[in-house]
Amino acid sequence: MGRFRPVLGILLAIVATCLIACGGPATKIPTTYTPEILQQVELYTPGVATLRDRFPELEGYIQDQDWRNVQSFIHGPMGELRTRVNRLAATLLTKDQPQAESLAKELYGHLERLDEAAVNGQQVVAGQEYRNALDDFDAFLNLVPAV
């Protein structure tokens, strides 16, 4: 029995540590927008909405086949899109975040393919990618609560 006493003490210490570490109060995931969450959403929404409002400029460049301005617009004003959308997506409810992140990735993919179409002067492909990007952008914004 004397040889097992130190081992028993170590085992009890490990069990106690695990119980204390794992037995704390569970954090509750919010299922509705709290004022604190809405405040965060309100902080990031205007920057994303501003970029959405500028999308018709891009359409004009595509219609005019002004490929240099298409590329400049994608890399210039839309260059901040990824950062702003990701920040806004992170403020959404946990249940909405996967869909928001998926739509954001689709949006980025459409803009990348639009940029490639501009490099190759493909107006039809550019127009399709523009419309798909716009649809995904609008779907993303529909996940954002009105503040």
How many helices (H) and strands (E) the chain has is answered by 7, 0
Largest CA distance in the chain: 89
- What gap in Å lies between CA 105 and CA 24, rounded to an integer? 36
Model-level pTM? 0.77
Taken in order of first residue, the domains within the chain and their CATH numbers are 34-143 (1.20.120.290)
Residue 51: Cβ-neighbour burial (10 angstroms; 0-12, 13-18, 19+):
middle
- What gap in Å lies between CA 22 and CA 60, rounded to an integer? 57
Listed as ranges, residues in the chain with pLDDT below 70 are: 1-2, 4, 7-8, 11-13, 15-16, 18-19, 23-30, 147
- What gap in Å lies between CA 108 and CA 113, rounded to an integer? 9
Residue type present at position 50: T
What tens digit of pLDDT does each residue of 20-52 get?
A: 777 656 566 667 888 888 999 999 999 999 999
Q: What pLDDT, on a 0 to 100 scale, did the predictor assign at position 79?
A: 87
- What gap in Å lies between CA 31 and CA 37, rounded to an integer? 11
Contacts of 88 (CB under 8 A, 6+ apart): 41, 44, 45, 47, 48, 100, 144
